[in-house]
Amino acid sequence: MGENWFQREFLQPRRLAFNVIFYGLHLFFFAYGWHSQETNKKLSALNALTWSVWTSRGAGLVLAFDGGLILVPMLRNIIRVVRPKLTWLFPADENIWFHRQVAYSMAFWAMVHTTAHYVNFFNVERTQVRPEIALDIHYTQAGGITGHFMLLIMVLMYTTAHHKIRNQCFEAFWYTHHLAFFFMIGLYAHATGCFVRDSALPAYTAVFPFYTTDHCLGYESWRFTIWPGIIYFGERIWREIRARRATRLSKVLVHPSGAMELRIIKPSFKYVAGQWLFIQVPDISGLQWHPFTITSAPEDPYVSVHIRQVGDWTYALGERVGAGPQVVASMTKAALKGNEKDENIYGTRGDFVEIDAAGRALPNVRIDGPYGAPAEDVFNVEVAVLIGAGIGVTPFASILKHIWYRQKKGTLGSLKRVEFFWVCRDAPSFGWFQTLLQEVEAAQADPNFLRINIYLTQKISEDMLWNIAVNDAGAEYDPLTLLRTRTMFGRPDWKAIYSRMSQAIQSGQYLPGTNAQLKSKVGTYFCGPGVLAKAIKEACQEANCASVDFTFAKEHF
Amino acid sequence: MGNLVWHEYARYVSLTATVYTIWAAFFGIYYRKFFWDFVHGIVRAPGGLQPAASDGIFVSIIVKAPVVQLLNMVLGFGLLALDYPLPFLKNSAIHRSFPIRIVLLLLQAFFAILYYQGTNGAIYSIIAALCYTRAQLNGEVMPEAKDNKGRGGRA
């Protein structure tokens, strides 16, 4: 894929720093754990087991570190608050990535730790330094039992978290990942009955934490690692409380492209453009929370999300609100045929249909959020390049609306221009987004402020080609999108786009009133598949020059 | 449970279980111990558990010579080749067969449960076998792999 493993991991300064610090800390903890065991005179009986006990202790300390770290990237509310202040330090939006790195290293060190302990207990039994057999330690003492349970939970959690399984069946991933609760309990209880002791028999006591530190000489690491667990648990409770605040589903609109728009009213819900939320519909499932991007602007009196019917849950939601697959399919067919083009003044294509609540009342909904996304920062740059691919366009609905509201108020910050790109495979899915784009486009007083570029990557049939060729010529609106902007076909050439933009800025044509002495900031905000992100990021880096600073941010789903 | 394709899930469990078992068998060669020696065994200090005389057959194939461990390792590598899969097995009839995997996984579990290090590998192998069984009962079939279908190229 263009760059090899070495280039990716070591030749990018940020990644290099991460690797050195993250894995350096792991190795340090391992070495320290090894050393502290080997040199501890009180544990000389245990040290007769030699390398295996030193290894297990070192790996144990590393695992305690990982166990404390694994929940930190999942503290969503804290990250949302902390992120704007710390963007310079670490990419907080990469929290899931970090969670995975910790998990990988946890799996590796768990292997080291377990292997070493298998050797330890084998030798304890053989030499009888303690009057017990290996299986006693494995299956009758707290450390052994919790350890084996944690390993089993890890097998289940890791396998269901594979991206393929997650895409197939989110529920399997979602429910299985909640085994983390038992995993963390196991982790905190793992040292109870302590293997690391100077007495022959386990030193249990009747009161919390059920062992005595007179004989237990472990790290007592649970005293530290339990805090992220407690904070995470508290955060989950806080999210539950917040989700229970008054929420009302006021409207359901179905767009011809098949997307449903839910308009929700929740006065206690405050957010900024480009953020996302979790939504729950108790009628469908009282346990599942599904993430969606907010498509309304903070200025709107409601919170809206656009939902495409693609999975189990979204189908069920469609059925529940009376916009099942048949309804949507017939609408999509109609949209495809093009019979929605009733020639009114704007030439609006098939408007949305409001589902009336006559038959059944609209279901209750609960929302949890908002959670951060990099696109909050658009007002800090001079030129914002917004790129959405397919359904990844949703955060930009909110942002474009928000920009439009701010434009009306005249509070645009340093933002001078907006380039909006939408890369999309098929024409019908343009539908719901189009009304919004029309509004925004029509409201532009300065023709240069917002430029909309739409790319259609689908292979088009000959009929369609002729249609476009004939209808497009000289028409005021694009025949496909009904925007003033022309639709382009094929994949965009990002390198050319960026280098042209860079040249235009340097020559002073692009941003009137700025001169080359000042460094202009061009921020790219992307939402869509990973391969495209990579191509755009490369183009961004290539276009970087002395007077123009190109930055890139990506959103994850 | 959603649209979970059981044999695709089972593959990940099977790979995990098999890698675990191979690693366990590797250590089982160096630290040889019959898992069930606590049944009727006596503890000697030092020396540890001495298996009962009736377990002589297991002692000779696990402790005296690591036959079970080696068999388990070979079997494990075979399963890995089948499940990963190796290029020449891809799209073959064996590769598409779930019953073969179920049998091999249960066999792997049977070997693994005999020696000290293999218990977890055995449990995970049984879980993988159950997942494959579920796939078989649901009538899932492994689709023929299409050519030139990687994880997606450059945009």
ipTM: 0.92
Taken in order of first residue, the domains within chain A and their CATH numbers are 5-241 (no CATH), 248-371 (2.40.30.10), 374-555 (3.40.50.80)
Interface touch B120/A529, C-beta < 8 Å: no
Q: Is it the case that residue B81 has pLDDT exceeding 90?
A: yes
Interface touch B13/A159, C-beta < 8 Å: yes
DSSP letters, A116-156, are HHHHHHHHHHHHTSSSS-HHHHHHTSHHHHHHHHHHHHHHH
User: Whole-angstrom Cα distance, residue A479 to residue A484?
Assistant: 10
DSSP letters, chain B, are -TT--HHHHHHHHHHHHHHHHHHHHHHHHHS--BGGGGSS-EEETTTEEE--GGGHHHIIIIIIS-HHHHHHHHHHHHHHHHHTT-TTTTTSTTTT-HHHHHHHHHHHHHHHTTBGGGHHHHHHHHHHHHHHHHHHHTT--PPPPPTT--S----
User: Whole-angstrom Cα distance, residue A19 to residue B5?
Assistant: 35
Q: What is the mean pLDDT of each run of 10 residues along chain A (557 residues)?
A: 70 83 95 91 85 93 94 86 68 77 95 95 90 89 93 95 85 90 93 80 75 78 90 92 85 74 86 84 83 83 81 79 67 53 40 55 83 68 81 78 80 78 70 69 71 76 72 64 68 80 75 61 78 80 75 65
Q: Where are the domains of chain B?
A: 11-137
| Structural tokens at position B19 | 């890698």
| Residue A301 CA neighbour count, 13 Å, CB half | 2
Cβ neighbours, 10 Å, residue A340 = 15
Going by C-beta distance under 8 Å and a sequence separation of 6 or more, which residues neighbour residue A41?
Answer: none
Chain A residues within an 8 Å CB radius of B43: 128, 133
Interface residue B2 vs chain A (CB under 8 A): yes
Chain B residues within an 8 Å CB radius of A128: 43-48
Cβ atoms A152, A160 nearer than 8 A: no
Q: Tokens 């005595």 correspond to what residue? A: A212
Its pTM stands at: 0.80
Q: How confident is the prediction for chain B on average, in pLDDT?
A: 88
CB contacts < 8 A (A, B): 94
Minimum distance, in Å, between the CA of residue B88 and any CA atom of chain A:
24
What H or E segment, with its residue span, contains residue A316?
A: helix A312-320
| Structural tokens at position B106 | 């249960």
User: Whole-angstrom Cα distance, residue A36 to residue A42?
Assistant: 11
- Residue A123's pLDDT is 92
B29-72 per-position pLDDT tens digit: 999 999 999 888 888 878 888 888 888 899 999 999 999 999 99
Looking at the DSSP bridge assignments, the partners of residue A290 are: A279
Distance, CA of B117 to chain centre: 13
Minimum distance, in Å, between the CA of residue A220 and any CA atom of chain B:
27
Minimum distance, in Å, between the CA of residue B144 and any CA atom of chain A:
17
DSSP letters, A210-261, are SB-TTTB-S--THHHHHHHHHHHHHHHHHHHHHHTS--EEEEEEE-TTSEEE
Interface touch B8/A171, C-beta < 8 Å: no
- Residue A101's pLDDT is 93
In sign, the C-alpha dihedral spanning A196, A201, A204, A205 is: negative
User: Whole-angstrom Cα distance, residue B9 to residue B128?
Assistant: 9
Cβ atoms A49, A65 nearer than 8 A: no
Distance, CA of A167 to chain centre: 14
Chain A residues within an 8 Å CB radius of B44: 128
- Residue B64's pLDDT is 92
Q: Which of residues 43-62 of B touch A (CB under 8 A)?
A: 43-49
Interface touch B2/A169, C-beta < 8 Å: yes
- Residue A23's pLDDT is 94
User: Whole-angstrom Cα distance, residue A478 to residue A34?
Assistant: 70
- Residue B17's pLDDT is 96
Interface residue B142 vs chain A (CB under 8 A): no
| Structural tokens at position A452 | 């909309």
Chain A residues within an 8 Å CB radius of B155: 491, 529, 531-532, 534-536
| Structural tokens at position A225 | 């690692």
If we measure between CA atoms, which residue out of A487, A418, A473, A412 comes closest to residue A450?
A: A418
Rg (Cα) of chain B, in Å, rounded? 19
User: Whole-angstrom Cα distance, residue A20 to residue A18?
Assistant: 6
Interface touch B47/A159, C-beta < 8 Å: no
Chain A residues within an 8 Å CB radius of B47: 126, 128
Interface touch A172/B152, C-beta < 8 Å: no
In sign, the C-alpha dihedral spanning A515, A516, A520, A524 is: positive
Interface touch A2/B154, C-beta < 8 Å: yes
pLDDT (mean) for B91-110: 91
DSSP letters, A35-83, are HHHHT-GGGHHHHTTTHHHHHHHHHHHHHHHHHHHTTGGG-HHHHHHHH
Low-confidence winner among B6-10, B16-20, B22-26 (lowest mean pLDDT)? B6-10
Which residues of A sit within 8 Å Cβ distance of B?
1-2, 111, 115, 118-119, 122, 125-128, 131, 133-135, 148, 151-152, 155, 158-160, 162, 164-165, 168-172, 311-312, 491, 529, 531-532, 534-536
Interface touch A118/B13, C-beta < 8 Å: no
| Structural tokens at position A423 | 């890369």
